[in-house]
Homo-oligomer: A and B are copies of this chain.
């Protein structure tokens, strides 16, 4: 039976210029117990910068942690980020499988 626990989990996203910096941030967050796991995927980003439309390759990192740890995680992402103005945003989460939630809590205890 899959039972859920109301969102004690938190999901924080950020984007990185390359795989190396995204992996480095992910490893740092997991090693320091600020995130249980991080999913990294390659994306193409379109944005305007100084009046010009830019399109370039980036890496999206999805950090999974607890509501209790998210503030420290976001500070760590911000202070170690290669961008001057990084995206650090929370995605709303609903129910998370109870077993998996326990793993997230143990990994970030």
Which A residues are within 8 Å of any B CB, using their own CB? 1-2, 4, 7, 9-11, 15, 19, 23, 26-27, 30-31, 36-48, 53, 55, 58, 60, 64, 74-75, 77-79, 85-97, 99-100, 103, 107
Contact (Cβ within 8 A) A47 B36 = yes
- Sample (29) of A-B pairs whose CB atoms are under 8 Å apart: A2-B74, A4-B90, A11-B91, A19-B44, A23-B46, A23-B55, A27-B55, A30-B48, A31-B53, A36-B48, A37-B46, A38-B47, A39-B43, A39-B45, A39-B60, A41-B41, A41-B43, A47-B107, A48-B107, A64-B87, A74-B95, A78-B97, A85-B99, A86-B97, A86-B100, A89-B94, A90-B94, A92-B93, A92-B94
